[in-house]
Chain A
Amino acid sequence: DGGITQSPKYLFRKEGQNVTLSCEQNLNHDAMYWYRQDPGQGLRLIYYSQIVNDFQKGDIAEGYSVSREKKESFPLTVTSAQKNPTAFYLCASSIPGSMNTEAFFGQGTRLTVV
């Protein structure tokens, strides 16, 4: 079955550590996204990538980094510079510029700083 796989489902990080969240898709989508979700704030865009080897900052990119070396993969690193990283992180993908464009979402990773 095609879809988006995020791992791990739960992640704990000590303060001052970097941590990487995995996102893999087998939908053959060019575009991929990372959103952060906090209670009462909806989804906020962290980074997005329209194509391999290219990505752009979203609305809240500070303290995060990404790479897009393969079409299928779009890992997100939460660095120690992110002051409040505890949140639910969602990865999504879509076909950019298509009339039937919609975003398909993974099941999310819940990151907790301990």
Chain B
Amino acid sequence: AQSVTQPDIHITVSEGASLELRCNYSYGATPYLFWYVQSPGQGLQLLLKYFSGDTLVQGIKGFEAEFKRSQSSFNLRKPSVHWSDAAEYFCAVGGDTGFQKLVFGTGTRLLVSP
């Protein structure tokens, strides 16, 4: 069964500093990988996704993520964090066979300090 691990529950970053959120997945076949962002009391918005091809994917709001099959990782990065990036971030994995059903990690809450 597929699973996702986000090892960091909370991360605090200074505004303007770089950011990396970690995500490790377990999946027996070709994974489909996603990063979502959630503001308090809101639904989830897709930041980016990886299905195949170039292992570095670009998303919205200046985010990018790199798929590393050898490390089973899909870490999210941003070169310079803005105060508006403070939110909760979820990594999710789905599969390329049969019905697409996403499994989510437990999330990482990003705090941005002045």
Contact = CB atoms under 8 A, between A and B. Distances in A.
Contact of A31 (B44, B45, B100): B100
Interface stretch (A67-75, A79-87, A93-101): A93-101
B102 A40 contact: no
Contacts of B43: 4, 6, 90, 105-108
Contacts of B46: 102-104
Size band of the interface chain A makes with B: 20 to 34
B100 A107 contact: no
A50 B98 CA distance: 11
B113 to A, nearest CB: 22
Contact of B41 (A4, A40, A96, A110): A110
Contacts of A43: 44, 90, 104
Interface of B: 6, 9, 32, 34, 36, 41-46, 49, 51, 90, 92, 94, 98-107
Interface of A: 4, 6, 31, 33, 35, 40-43, 45, 48, 50, 88, 90, 92, 94, 96-108, 110
